Structures are given as C-alpha cells and as structure tokens.
Amino acid sequence: QKEVEQDPGPLSVPEGAIVSLNCTYSNSAFQYFMWYRQYSRKGPELLMYTYSSGNKEDGRFTAQVDKSSKYISLFIRDSQPSDSATYLCAMSRLGGTSGSRLTFGEGTQLTVNP
Amino acid sequence: ETGVTQSPTHLIKTRGQQVTLRCSSQSGHNTVSWYQQALGQGPQFIFQYYREEENGRGNFPPRFSGLQFPNYSSELNVNALELDDSALYLCASSFPGWETQYFGPGTRLLVL
C-alpha cells in the first residue's frame, strides 16, 4: 500500500468551476503538507504549505488538512485555463534545520476548458 | 534571487553507461534533495545532502550516488544505467529550518 494515495484523474472542468483535489495518507507521522503544481515537462512549483490540521487560503486556492481522517484537500475557486496542470500533494515527517524528504502522491491531471 | 537550476535539460544514454546530473541550489539554501519522477508518477525521493554529507536516502540502489560541494551545488551520479532509469530527475533545495522544498526544472534522461 502506498503511503500517499491520490486519484490520478484526469479531471476536466469548465472555466469558472470550483475544483476539489484530494489525497489520503496512512502514516500518522506526517506533519507538513504541501501542494505543488507541475506543468507539462516542467519541475513542480510550490502552491501551498500547511503545518498540521487546519485551513489556509491564498487567493483562489484553499488548502485543508484533517489529520484525524488523514485527508488533505486543495480547492481552486474560479478556475482558469492557466490552472491546467498536474497537481501533486506532498508530505514530510521530520523537522529541523536539515530539511526533510517529501513523499508525493501520484498527481492529479487537471484540465480547465475555456 | 536565482532559483534552482539543473543541467543538462535532456540526455540520452545507452544501457550500462554512466551519467552525471548537476544542480545549483537556490541562494541561501544549504540542503539539496534529488528525486526521480517516472512518467505519470509522483517524484520519488532518492537522497538528500546537507553540509556536503548524505542526510537520508530513499529506496534506491548504491549505483545512485551523489555529492554536494561547498557552494551547496550538487551532483547525482548513476552507474550501470538500466532502461527503467529513464525518468525526469529533479533537484530541490531547502532553506535552513523550513520544510518546503523548491524544485528545479529537471533533467530528462532517456536510456536506450
């Protein structure tokens, strides 16, 4: 069983729709949760970062973490064609000055149609 | 501020050969991690370097090795290339005390 599960999609929505992307995980040691956006043939770009449970909002993006359910979500409001990309959830279990390894989901491929 | 850079962008090798990939970390970041991303998959952690020493390793064989230099740049070396090594290799750097990692554009390796 994978430590992080993510529906690969593909997910196709009309412009302006609210998009919900989700990941579940099995390791309760994960404390830090991130969402990355990856355009085709590019490196992942950090979108959102959350520590422990709760919500975080940044513009059209909202990240939610529910540690009791081991479930994280990313919501995109007023989706735009430029949001078309693969969205990767990532988690880490260690802190400190040396950084941590990230465990990624498979990624969800999103297409926003004009 | 300069972001993470990687070279080369693309590479074609044949099975059994050796390859070296290079990464320059973002300014102020002293930790570099390497990931392998197969087509259609999420990145898989290979190893991490902090202050020129390996600081954690994922489930990759010893033919995957690395180095970090005093200026925090890094190399990933892969010996005895196999067809399954074909992937996008990503380098990420971290700011001291932060959990978030910032990725470079990757090197796309094709093994024939």
| Contact in structure between A108 and A7 (CB atoms under 8 Å) | yes
Compute the distance between CA of residue A98 and CA of residue B19 in angstroms, rounded to an integer: 27
Q: Chain A: give the shortest CA distance to residue B80, in Å.
A: 25
What local confidence, expressed as pLDDT, does residue A100 receive?
Answer: 75
What local confidence, expressed as pLDDT, does residue A29 receive?
Answer: 87
What local confidence, expressed as pLDDT, does residue A95 receive?
Answer: 56
Compute the distance between CA of residue B106 and CA of residue B56 in angstroms, rounded to an integer: 21
Residues of B in contact with A88 (CB under 8 A): 42-43
What local confidence, expressed as pLDDT, does residue A94 receive?
Answer: 62
What is the mean pLDDT, run by run of 10 residues, along chain B of 112 residues?
88 98 89 94 94 89 96 95 98 79 96 98
What is the mean pLDDT, run by run of 10 residues, along chain A of 114 residues?
90 97 93 94 92 90 95 97 97 65 95 97
How would you write A12-45 as a 3-class SS string? EEECCCCEEEEEEECCCCCCEEEEEEECCCCCCE
Closest CA to A84 of A25, A26, A29, A19: A19
Q: Chain A: give the shortest CA distance to residue B112, in Å.
A: 20
What local confidence, expressed as pLDDT, does residue B65 receive?
Answer: 97
Compute the distance between CA of residue A17 and CA of residue A13 in angstroms, rounded to an integer: 6
What local confidence, expressed as pLDDT, does residue B97 receive?
Answer: 61
pLDDT digit string, tens, across residues A85-108: 999 999 988 654 445 789 999 999
What local confidence, expressed as pLDDT, does residue A12 receive?
Answer: 97
Compute the distance between CA of residue B105 and CA of residue B94 in angstroms, rounded to an integer: 15
Q: Chain B: give the shortest CA distance to residue A70, in Å.
A: 19
Is residue A64 within 8 angstroms of chain B, CB to CB?
A: no
Phi/psi of residue B20, nearest 5 degrees: -125, 125
What local confidence, expressed as pLDDT, does residue A98 receive?
Answer: 46
A98:B108 CB<8 A: no
C-alpha dist (Å) from residue B77 to A98, B70, B73: 22, 18, 14
Q: Which chain B residue is nearest to residue A109, measuring alpha carbons? A: B40
